[in-house]
């Protein structure tokens, strides 16, 4: 098989990345190089870029971003923090457990690891430090729990994966629930071990009355994930329609129920939504001609031959893919990796009979772990920047949480029923 065209594209893209060219322009540049070298009209680039950004499913992305922004501006996070504090704050290392549970609940609203990390770092880290927790522990925990954002539905990354892999977005949303719970429990076990060794304090004693009050105040926020999941499974909404319903629900709750969102805040919310959407869609658009070029260059066949040349045993193949994704996640932005790799990996996944929903959760989680490590490490840099902590202190405190995340990754990878049980149950 001829590997030269694939190698040429990879080298050009790698060179552009090394000199600091934004990922969208790297994709476009590599595509232009391939088209020029093979005397293909450059109009193909424009046609495929436009068609790639016009997918009906992609419309769900700005709507979910808008819904998350509206809920965050409405002060929903504070209500969820109060609920989780009343629920698990009485345990040893209570504020650490509150951090984990709060991120799980917020993940069902925003679906964004960066949004959750920013909110919890600003609110939780000062509270935990004042209560006697070590600052590096607090920041490392907050960054680690933010990985729950794209695993628990709704999730922009699941929409991108489902679109690229032609996989059911509804099944991906349902399939992320149990893995999200597993990740949360694993992180809580890590918190419990560290809290016991360092004798971190407990929060206020458990009070059923305080729990009920907090639950009543947050019930509108808790209903949003239910709306999304149930709407999907009952066939009431498509992915785009449920995103629109979630945005409308968030707007009504913020303006008329909690009354913490004002009309004057909406322009800022819309500007944020437009900026985040534009950043995603320019990558989505330029990835389409890049994927076409890689397909013509027979990159999927090359990837299949390379991987099966190592082993044809499914568990070994999954191990190779995990290591590959973890390494890429350390160097590249998550959506970019997904858009580039999914078309290349699909023939391999189908040959090895790996369920696409199962692999979707594995892929997303691998790339999220990469957000905690240098040199890219956007979650690491964001939380350290907000909390004013050095990267060295962050990495030294991250050991227990990396252990918890890798444990959860191993279970999710080699016990497919963790992901597939609920999608199969509700079919």
Q: For the segment 259-309, what is each residue's pLDDT rounded down to a tens digit? A: 888 899 999 989 988 887 887 788 778 877 887 787 777 776 676 677 778
Is residue 407 situated within a structural domain? yes
Q: What percent of the chain has pLDDT over 70?
A: 93
What's the sign of the alpha-carbon dihedral 274, 279, 284, 288?
A: positive
* Mean pLDDT of all residues in 330-336: 76
The residues near 294 (Cβ < 8 Å, ≥ 6 apart) are 6, 9, 300, 340, 343, 344
Is residue 14 situated within a structural domain? no
User: Hey, what's the torsion of the CAs at 366, 368, 371, 372, to 10 degrees?
Assistant: -80
Is residue 36 situated within a structural domain? no
Whether residue 1 has pLDDT greater than 60: no
Q: Which domain holds residue 223?
A: 57-425
* Mean pLDDT of all residues in 199-206: 82
Is residue 221 situated within a structural domain? yes
User: Hey, what's the torsion of the CAs at 304, 307, 312, 317, to 10 degrees?
Assistant: -120
Is residue 79 situated within a structural domain? yes
Is residue 42 situated within a structural domain? no
**What predicted TM-score, i.e. pTM, was given to this entire model?**
0.82
**pLDDT on residue 361:** 96
Is residue 242 situated within a structural domain? yes
Whether residue 218 has pLDDT greater than 90: no
- Number of separate domains in the chain: 1
Which of 229-238, 296-305, 332-341, 414-423 shows the highest mean pLDDT?
414-423
**pLDDT on residue 2:** 45
Whether residue 138 has pLDDT greater than 90: yes
**pLDDT on residue 417:** 95
Whether residue 148 has pLDDT greater than 60: yes
Whether residue 327 has pLDDT greater than 90: no
- The CA distance from 421 to 402, in Å, is 26
Name the least confident of 97-101, 183-187, 235-239, 401-405: 235-239
Name the least confident of 26-40, 299-313, 373-387: 299-313
Residue 74 phi, psi dihedral angles, 5° rounding: -80, 0
Q: How confident is the model at residue 113 (pLDDT cuts 50, 70, 90)?
A: confident
Is residue 22 situated within a structural domain? no
H helices of 74-207, in order, are 76-88, 94-107, 113-130, 135-145, 156-165, 169-175, 177-198
């Amino acid at each position: 098989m001829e590997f030269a065209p694939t190698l040429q594209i990879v080298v050009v893209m790698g060179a552009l990345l090394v000199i600091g060219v934004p990922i969208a322009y790297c994709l476009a540049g590599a595509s232009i190089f391939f088209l020029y070298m093979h005397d293909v009209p450059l109009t193909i680039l424009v046609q495929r870029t436009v068609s790639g950004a016009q997918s009906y499913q992609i419309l769900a992305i700005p709507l979910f971003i808008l819904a998350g922004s509206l809920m965050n501006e409405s002060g929903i996070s504070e209500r969820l923090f109060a609920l989780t504090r009343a629920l698990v704050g009485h345990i040893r290392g209570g504020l650490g457990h509150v951090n984990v549970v709060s991120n799980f609940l917020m993940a069902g609203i925003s679906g964004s690891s960066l949004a959750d990390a920013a909110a919890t770092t600003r609110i939780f880290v000062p509270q935990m430090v004042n209560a006697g927790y070590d600052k590096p522990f607090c920041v490392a925990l907050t960054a680690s729990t933010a990985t729950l954002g794209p695993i628990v539905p709704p999730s922009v990354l699941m929409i991108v994966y489902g679109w690229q892999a032609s996989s059911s977005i509804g099944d991906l949303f349902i399939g992320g629930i149990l893995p999200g719970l597993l990740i949360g429990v694993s992180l809580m076990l890590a918190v419990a071990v560290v809290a016991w060794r360092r004798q971190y304090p407990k929060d206020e004693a458990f009070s059923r009355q305080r729990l009920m009050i907090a639950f009543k105040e947050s019930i509108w926020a808790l209903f949003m994930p239910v709306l999304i999941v149930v709407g999907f499974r009952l066939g009431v909404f498509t992915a785009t329609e449920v995103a629109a319903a979630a945005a409308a629900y968030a707007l009504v709750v913020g303006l008329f129920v909690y009354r913490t969102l004002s009309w004057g805040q909406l322009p800022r919310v819309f500007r944020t939504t437009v900026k985040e959407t534009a950043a995603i869609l320019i990558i989505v658009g330029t990835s389409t001609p890049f994927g076409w070029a890689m397909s013509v260059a027979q990159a999927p066949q090359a990837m299949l031959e390379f991987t099966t040349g190592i082993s044809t045993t499914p568990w070994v193949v999954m191990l190779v893919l995990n290591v590959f994704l973890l390494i890429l996640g350390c160097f590249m932005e998550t959506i970019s990796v997904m858009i580039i790799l999914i078309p290349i990996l699909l023939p391999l996944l189908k040959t090895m009979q790996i369920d696409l929903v199962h692999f979707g959760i594995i892929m997303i989680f691998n790339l999220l772990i990469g957000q905690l490590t240098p040199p890219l490490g956007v979650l690491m840099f964001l939380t350290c920047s907000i909390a004013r902590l050095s990267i060295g202190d962050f990495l030294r405190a991250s050991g227990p949480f990396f252990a918890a995340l890798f444990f959860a990754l191993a279970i999710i990878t080699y016990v497919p029923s963790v992901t597939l049980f609920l999608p199969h149950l509700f079919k």
